[in-house]
Amino acid sequence: MSFSNLKKQSSLGSLTAKLVREVEKQNNTGGGGADDRLWKPEMDKSGNGYAVIRFLPAPDGEDLPWVKLFSHAFQGPGGWYIENSLTTIGQKDPLGELNRELWNSGNDADKDTVRKQKRKLSFYANIYVVKDPANPQNEGGVFLYKFGKKIFDKIMDAMQPEFEDEDPINPFDFWQGANFKLKLKKVAGYWNYDSSEFASTGALLDDDEALEAIWKKQYSLTDLVASDKFKSYDDLKKRLDAVLGKSNRRPVEEETEYDNYATSETKRVSEEDVLRKLEDSVKAAKTVEEPSVSSDSGSDDDDPMSYFAKLADS
């Protein structure tokens, strides 16, 4: 897609509905060292954080302005298991199979174990940093931003507002999108984004040449979930066995109570062709959902970074 076509699509206002339908399909089907491409908000000494960012359109040649990634992070007797889940790319994952078996054992202790080992959902998108008081050198830069379901829900609420007097917007649009005011605070030891909100709609910059330059600086999102970015099933199984002190449990193949529980817990969005490419792009993301366990902390849906932030403060 050319930059001029991107603007034309914005004027037609067609992409918002397409993105909503794409999220619906994803929800219904399941779906190293520091990286200097990643932007992260920071808290001040009072325990609050503030920044203004703009979610950017899909990179050139890609269909969606975000990708989702499933991962696991828990500690066992043999150390930490911190790995991306193969279910992200529609493949069987050894921990997913183990969790399914545990969930259907009928043992409450096994279900508690699954809750500890369950998948964590993260999203990645390109952003433009409008304001970053903690690190002003980031302002005007293009970064990747990793965020959890809480912020993704706010994006969905903007695209599909709850009340009829609210106009839907496409937050990823250069011209008719809106800046996102990220407001961060700690609640029960976890990072909380409940107060974050979108500002009024408007163009990011009143200069198409500058916008095109920003668009060309974006990072590939599909590359983040390419198959070569994941360890093999066998390598993950070896690591899992080491962390658990060796597990000989037999994977469960058939649909069970676990699958039914997972589907009912994770199906939130009940919303013509989004583009044939879009439809094909999510076929590889079809996964069997793991149990989504609500947190009493009000955290960002068990955002892994929030989790480790709490550990650091313990």
CA–CA distances in Å: residue 138 to residues 132, 183, 191, 204, 313? 7, 17, 21, 16, 26
- pLDDT 10s digits, 228-255: 999 999 999 999 999 999 755 444 444 4
| pTM for this entry | 0.72
Q: Which helix (H) or strand (E) holds 93?
A: none
Residue 312: the pLDDT is 43
Domains, in order of start, for the chain:
3-313 (3.90.198.10)
User: What's the rounded Cα separation, in Å, for the pair 170 and 157?
Assistant: 10
Residue 225: the pLDDT is 97
Q: Which long-range contacts (CB under 8 A, 24 or more apart) does 250-257 make?
A: 250/101, 251/92, 251/94, 251/97, 251/98, 251/100, 251/101, 252/97, 252/100, 252/101, 252/104, 256/100, 256/103, 256/104, 257/103, 257/104
- pLDDT 10s digits, 194-233: 999 999 999 999 999 999 999 999 999 999 999 999 999 9
Q: How many CA atoms lie within 13 A of 32 on its CB side?
A: 6
Residue 39: the pLDDT is 97
Torsion of CA 291, 292, 295, 298, to 10 degrees: 180
Flag residues of the chain having pLDDT under 70.
Answer: 11-33, 247-314
